[in-house]
Amino acid sequence: MVGLTVALERLGWRDDLAAEFVPFHGAGLVPGRVSLEHNHVYRVFTEAGELLAEAAGRIKYRATGRHQLPAVGDWVAVRPDPSGGRAVIREILPRRTWFSRKAAGRETDEQVIAANVDVVLLVFGLDVHVKPRAIERYLALARHGNVRPVVVLNKKDLSPDHAADVAAAAEVAGDAPVHAVSAHDPATAGELGAYLVPGSTMALLGPSGAGKSSIVNRLIGADVLDTGEVRERDARGRHTSVHRQMLLRPGGGLLIDTPGMRELQLWDSDESLDETFADVIAHAGACRFRDCRHDTEPGCAVRAAVDDGTLGPDRYESYLNLRREHEATERLRDERAQIDEKRQARIQGKALKAMQKSRGR
């Protein structure tokens, strides 16, 4: 066991979680929250201290994908090892919120980035021009997970006109607040820390080099995470975080730092796309066909809005691109589900044959 003891309430423990944990009390299990995962070894915050743990074999066996394994932010039922060895995670409590993406590469799997998050800072660096299309993508990710998004434009000291950058971000942010900050400015802690109340969890997402770790250090009030040097030739930061990890803030609340994502493909984003592109959907009700895809169909009110200048062409193309990506992922998910069903049928068939064989002896 490592680390300091901490009250469960500081970790976000609530009455509904306590009710869900009741069945595990008599089995020698204690509640904990996953703070870090690396190569299937976990650090888990508990009331008695921080444990090193691994998932029980039955969790791994019944998992049809990595999304059913423990993730940073998960509440778990864990069995400590009295001898000081690794604890065992026996159960994962139901996730209240989470956000996930399609796993990077060719693999068709859902990767949970963080679980049980209340607010997410979507961090972008102002050392480059604001990319509204990237903001739209991250907003869809956050909203699908039912997590409150806040757009943070870091490194405003490196932007010659950060007011214009804020305006560009606000055009696509919808009801999400937009802040221009500098992680080197002490005022940043107060501005962003207002979203982090005791017992709540804040995650930071964004591309590499945006300064997420620097913001975490500012919010915590100490250099707890390594940060990259800024290159002189282009003022770009170096990506430093390599693992998702959860940290306790001395003033209350928890922070989840995440590595920068060079590839962000949405996993399940239908409704969140409609929310992120509310201005596009507002025109859709006037389309001639109820199942209009807003692409090449006749009588499409969305395309008409683009033609008359009511809707920006870049915004429209971004919507179409993310919609097509969502549909492609849906097809891959269906194919994966069929493969999983066949695999489970084979496993059950083998188990049945083994049972029948043992009975026939």
In a domain, 164, yes or no: yes
Q: Are residues 88 and 102 in the same domain?
A: no
| Residue 102: band (very low, low, confident or very high) from pLDDT cuts 50, 70, 90 | low
Residues 86 and 103 in one domain: no
For 30-78, how does the pLDDT look when each residue is reduced to its tens digit (9 = 90+)?
Answer: 999 999 998 889 999 999 889 999 999 999 888 877 888 999 999 999 9
pTM: 0.75
- Among candidate residues 92, 118, 152, the one where a domain is terminated: 92
Region for 294 from its dihedrals, namely left if φ exceeds 0, alpha if ψ lies in -120 to 50, beta otherwise: left
pLDDT digits (tens, 9 = 90+) for 175-202: 999 999 999 999 998 999 999 999 999 9
Together in a domain, 128 and 188: yes
> Which of residues 45, 70, 92 is at a domain's end?
92
Name every residue whose Cβ is closer than 8 Å to that of residue 109 and which is 6 or more positions away in sequence: 65, 66, 67, 102, 103, 336
Q: Which of 238, 265, 292 is the last residue of a domain?
A: 265
Bridge partners, 201 (sequence order): 254
Residue 349 lies in a domain: no
pLDDT at residue 234, rounded to an integer: 37
Q: How far apart are the C-alpha atoms of 48 and 82, rounded to whole Å?
A: 12
187 and 238 both lie in a single domain: yes
Whether 193 and 110 share a structural domain: yes
Whether 107 and 242 map to the same domain: the answer is yes
For residues 283-289, average pLDDT: 85
pLDDT at 4 over 70: no
Q: 71 in a domain, yes or no? A: yes
Share above pLDDT 70 across residues of the chain, in percent, rounded to a whole number: 80
Report the CATH number that the domain containing residue 220 is assigned in CATH: 3.40.50.300
Strand 49-55 relative to strand 87-92: parallel, antiparallel, unpaired? parallel
C-alpha span between 143 and 127 (Å, rounded)? 26
The amino acid sitting at 166 is V
Q: How many domains does the chain divide into?
A: 3
Query: Could you say which DSSP state residue 5 is in?
Result: -
Examine the pLDDT at 232 and tell me if it is beyond 60: no
Question: For the residues 249-266, what does the mean pLDDT come to?
Answer: 76
245 shares its domain with 114:
yes
Residue 131 belongs to what domain range?
98-265
Q: Are 70 and 76 in contact (CB under 8 A)?
A: yes
Cβ count near 345 (within 10 Å) = 10
Same domain, 259 and 154: yes
